[in-house]
């Protein structure tokens, strides 16, 4: 994917971009905490044949400058909208991983007319990650379940972001009621959860969520057997297949082209 920089209100964004042309549906990938968008590229690259695809570094992450103290999740949500403005996107589907999910939730909450659809992959934040010690322990367990090659991508980003900033933002992330936020939105969204993800509640809780949101009609939930937290990096073929199927058919009907290890727990009606 081509790399570029663009100046927006309140600063400059570094981002990657590829796609057939700008008339194609826009998809913007939003990274997790303390890390750049680099680890999202394996999945994003698989979608560039059909979608106008962007992978920015949010302010203060990767190669995008930001304030000395990390922006709040609400501020990062607003920054996502500034990025859309800077590249001339009126609306886009936002694909988030980990902290990128509450960031998207806040963006959709405050700017609902700018988010076409939200795709939340391994959403972080909420009671299951509290207190912060529990969340950090879950993060450590996840590190043992991810591909070793992720260290080469994520390690420099985490080192640059810094321990103090990382703890500040991680603490805020664990307090963010991610699922509550998105459940209250009218924005259509897809939640993708991996069975090996220690930062997510157990399958029983995901089933309960699926039952609770089914009547709303704007929510689809897909369970993938195997992946841990960083599905965008570890299982890009499977995730790209799920994203493509959802964007073609948000109901994820029985005819949807899904991976063999995918189970649809909730079908969207719109």
Would the pLDDT of 71 be above 90?
A: yes
pLDDT at 143: 95
Mean pLDDT computed over 248-267? 91
Give residue for tokens 């664990």.
174
**Which CATH number is 164's domain given?**
3.40.50.1820
The predicted pLDDT at position 89 comes to 96
End-to-end Cα distance, the chain? 31
pLDDT at 7: 81
Domain residues for the domain of 21 are: 2-266
Runs of H (alpha helix) within the chain: 41-45, 73-86, 100-110, 132-145, 149-161, 163-175, 178-183, 203-213, 231-234, 236-248
Integer Cα distance of 236 and 44 in angstroms:
8
- pLDDT-above-90 percentage for the chain: 80
Q: What is the pLDDT of residue 269?
A: 85
Q: What are phi and psi of 269, to 5 degrees?
A: -105, -5
Using 50, 70 and 90 to split pLDDT, how confident is the model at 189?
A: very high
What is the rounded average pLDDT of the residues 31-40?
A: 96
CA atoms within 13 A on the CB side of 171: 7
Domains in the chain: how many in total? 1
pTM reported for the whole predicted model: 0.96
Residue 194 confidence (pLDDT): 98
pLDDT given for residue 4 in this prediction: 87
| Tens digit of each residue's pLDDT (9 = 90 or more) over 81-111 | 999 999 999 999 999 999 999 999 999 999 9
The torsion angles phi and psi of 244, rounded to 5 degrees, stand at -65, -45
Q: Which residue, chain included where needed, has tokens 């985490």?
A: 158
Please report which confidence band the pLDDT of residue 141 belongs to, taking 50, 70 and 90 as the band edges. Answer: very high
Task: Report phi then psi at 94, rounded to 5.
Answer: -105, 130
- Per the listing, tokens 């981002």 go with 15
Per-residue pLDDT, 181: 83
Q: How confident is the model at residue 33 (pLDDT cuts 50, 70, 90)?
A: very high
Average pLDDT, the chain: 93
Q: pLDDT band at residue 178, thresholds of 50, 70 and 90?
A: confident
Q: How confident is the model at residue 184 (pLDDT cuts 50, 70, 90)?
A: confident
What region does 135 belong to: left with phi over 0, alpha with psi -120 to 50, or beta? Answer: alpha
- Segment 129-141 mean pLDDT: 93
């Amino acid at each position: 994917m081509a790399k570029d920089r663009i100046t927006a209100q309140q600063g400059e964004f570094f981002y990657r971009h590829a796609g057939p042309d700008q008339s194609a549906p826009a998809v913007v990938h939003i990274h997790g905490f303390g890390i750049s968008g680099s680890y999202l590229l394996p999945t994003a690259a698989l979608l560039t044949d059909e979608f106008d695809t962007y992978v920015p570094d949010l302010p203060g992450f990767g190669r995008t400058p930001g304030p000395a103290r990390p922006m709040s999740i609400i501020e990062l949500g607003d920054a996502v909208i500034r990025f859309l403005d800077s590249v001339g996107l009126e609306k886009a589907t936002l694909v988030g991983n980990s902290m990128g999910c509450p960031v998207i939730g806040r963006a959709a909450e405050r700017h609902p007319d700018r988010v076409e659809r939200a795709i939340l992959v391994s959403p972080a934040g909420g009671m299951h990650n509290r207190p912060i010690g529990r969340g950090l322990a879950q993060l450590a367990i996840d590190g043992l379940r991810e591909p070793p090659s992720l260290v080469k991508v994520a390690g420099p980003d985490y080192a640059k972001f810094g321990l103090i900033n990382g703890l500040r933002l991680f603490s805020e992330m664990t307090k963010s009621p991610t699922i509550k936020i998105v459940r209250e939105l009218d924005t259509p969204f897809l939640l993708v959860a991996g069975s090996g993800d220690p930062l997510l509640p157990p399958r029983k809780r995901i089933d309960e969520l699926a039952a609770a949101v089914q009547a709303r009609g704007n929510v689809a939930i897909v369970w993938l057997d195997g992946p841990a937290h960083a599905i965008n990096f570890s299982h890009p073929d499977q995730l790209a297949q799920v994203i493509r199927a959802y964007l073609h058919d948000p109901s994820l009907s029985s005819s949807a082209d899904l991976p063999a290890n995918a189970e649809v727990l909730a079908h969207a009606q719109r």
